[in-house]
Amino acid sequence: MDKLLCNQECQQRIVSNLKSFSRVCLEKKSYRPAAVCLTVVDFRDKGNLSGLQHSCAFNGAALILTRRAGNLNKHAGQWALPGGSIDKGENPAETALRELEEEVGLSLTKKSVLGYLDDYVTRSGFHITPVVLWGGEVAELNRNGEEVASIHRIPCSELFRPEVPILERGVEEGRPVLCMPVGTTYIASPTAAIMYQFKETALSGRDTRVGHFDQPYFAWS
């Protein structure tokens, strides 16, 4: 993979790849609908994340990730993409944009929507639609202390580490747990699975499915 800069070329690549991608849309009425956003912004600092394996230019492309606050009832302290439940009358893009502003203080418009990835169903009862957004150059992000412990800009180049993806044995045959190494730590599914599909489809132009990957037990509730 060539150098990933947060520029018009990168934006056009993502749009083109997602336009030719036939996403999987699921009807899961017994699950709670939710949306998350994969927001491409410029890399400015490590966001307190050490051990990044790839050097990244100041204007390199990065994804916004958060650590959830430790006092939350669901998935406290876990890595997460900004997102949440879809409110009545909202579509996934509207939810993603609202949650992005609520959690990290970044206000974007519908024109920022580049496309969508496959729907993903979680063990904790959510039916997630991943929305890919273009943020571009963003000077500051401001966390919502009630929901977010920290905000991180993860260089997209980290998604191309040679050990990606890490597959661990799951509880069901044929459903391994997918993890993504980032810095000196790792991110587990569902966030990792969605990030991996972003790397495969949006950045690399491959029709790679991730719905069969399971989540670790700690993410089930």
End-to-end CA, the chain? 36
State how far the Cα of 14 lies from the Cα of 189, in Å rounded to an integer: 22
Residue 1 lies in a domain: no
**Residues 172-191: b if buried by 16+ CB within 10 A, e if exposed:** eeeebbbbbbbbeeebbbbb
Q: Into how many domains does the chain fold? A: 1
Range of the domain at 78: 8-219
Confirm whether 198 is domain-assigned: yes
pLDDT score, position 145 = 77
38 within some domain:
yes
In a domain, 133, yes or no: yes
> How many CB atoms within 10 Å of residue 166?
17
pLDDT at 73: 57
Q: Residues 180-214: pLDDT tens digits?
A: 998 888 899 999 999 999 999 999 999 999 999 99
Report which of residues 165 and 219 the model is more confident about. Answer: 165
CATH, residue 101: 3.90.79.10
Q: Report d(CA 108, CA 45) in Å as an integer.
A: 21
Label residue 218 left, alpha or beta by phi (over 0 means left) and psi (-120 to 50 means alpha).
alpha
User: Across residues 13-25, what is the average pLDDT?
Assistant: 96
Residue 1 pLDDT level (bands cut at 50, 70, 90)? low
Query: pLDDT tens digit string along 44-103?
Result: 765 556 556 454 555 789 999 998 775 655 655 788 999 999 999 999 999 999 999 999
* Residues 96-151 pLDDT 10s: 999 999 999 999 999 999 999 999 999 888 999 999 999 999 988 999 878 899 99
Task: Judge whether 42 lies within some domain.
Answer: yes
* Longest CA span, the chain: 45
Classify residue 3: in a domain, yes or no: no
Pairing type for strands 166-168 and 177-182 reads: antiparallel
The confidence score (pLDDT) of residue 202 equals 98
